[in-house]
Amino acid sequence: MAQIIEMPKLSDTMTVGTLVKWLKNEGDTVKSGDMLAEVETDKATMELESFFDGVLLKQFAAAGSSVAIGEALAAIGKAGEKVEAPAPKKAEAPKAEEKKPETKEPEKKEEPKPASAVQAPAAAIPHSATPNPQSPASGRLRISPLALRLAAELGVDPKTAKGSGPGGRILRADILAAAKNPPAKAAAPAGKAAPVWPWRSVTDKSAVQAEATASPSNMRATIARRLLESKTQIPHVYLEIEVDADPLMALREQLNAGLAKDKVKLSVNDFVLKASAAALRAVPSVNTSWEEKGIKSHGAVHVSFAVAIDDGLITPVIRNTDQKSLMQISAETKELGKKAKDRKLTPAEFTGGTFCVSNLGMMGIERFTAIINPPNAAILAVGATVKKPVVVDDEIVIGQRMSLTLSCDHRIVDGAVGAKFLNALRDHLQNPALLLL
């Protein structure tokens, strides 16, 4: 009897997956351990492994389609064996209500509604096939939010870009390619002014206006849901502290000069991750999670860090961060960061973090607040290191300062506890030699 391959749950928050492409075709011989397809979850793109030997008899989902967890993807069995698509899994039907005797009412003549007022009922069924990047019926453009913003910045009409993502979705790379090879401009009809981007100067005659509605990817939809849950269900309290970054920047420059021959470069974020781990050991009350049955204290320190990718962000985890050297942390963040951008992280590499660091300093943001990533009790927002006038020994001198903002789950971390953590973090960053021990 043929074995049915179903869409597996590849992450803790996954509800549907997008079948990016098939790696095996119908009729191919398949062995246990072979990779059948690439599946995009809400956090990464992963390969779907076969656990059966046989022939790939049937593919029930097309490349680019969204498939709910537990729904059939393919069938594997003996050559020549006939197989039919299993019936979709249905939710349990609600109990029938007691029938009441009908009472006839005078018939009301229904006035015809204009076509624009008639609406189709919303469907909660996953699409079996993804439409073209721009569906003539819906007029919607399949494009990632990041690509849409980049198109606006570069003055590229998204409709001219060829989508390389799942189901023809337009990604950042597609906009960059369209910017390098712009299509020939058609002459504007006489008497009509060329449209412009709303945020550009009306005097910019070369600007092109484009309006599109981007359907959210699995990742963006999950981020929206989880952040809404975090902000509405977790009572956030914010604490900010300023760090003297002169010692840190001096030590980093010295270390990088010595490591230049090995092509190794330590980042400010490497120091922050190591210092955060040390502060969590000093104030373990922050290394906790709120659960229904009580407050969970984590024995290990697993610090995650936010990485921006197309359609959102993901938080790879440095496991046992407090037990690793700066060099190990630096190498691991670079490796995990690259895998994150390539959407090749495994679930083990982006789950299980006990604390999170979000750094926008490299983007010129001096200070901001971050939303807690459940089930963590806190998240650290790191701003840019800036030069400014500071008072040292009653004299005004030029110093380097870094702003750190801690968002705390007030159910677990009170202001005093959060302040202790920030002070421990500042002590390590202002005495960075401690991080080399």
* DSSP code per residue over 363-406: GT---------TT-SEEEEEEEEEEEEEEETTEEEEEEEEEEEE
Sheet holding 16-22, edge to edge: 45-49, 35-40, 16-22, 66-68
Out of 127, 236, 410, 428, pick the active-site residue.
Answer: 410
Told to judge if 410 belongs to the known catalytic residues of this protein, a careful annotator would answer yes
Secondary element (H or E) of residue 294: strand 294-297
Cα torsion 66, 132, 141, 227 to 10°: value is 10
Q: What is the CA radius of gyration of the chain?
A: 27
Q: Burial of 112 by CB count in 10 Å (0-12 exposed, 13-18 middle, 19+ buried)?
A: exposed
Q: Are 199 and 151 in contact (CB under 8 A)?
A: no
Strand partners, 281: none
Residues 6+ apart with CB under 8 A from 180: none
Query: What share of residues in the chain are helix, strand, coil (percent, to 5)?
Result: 30, 25, 45
Rounded CA-CA distance 159/50 in Å is 38
> Any idea which residues carry the catalytic annotation?
410
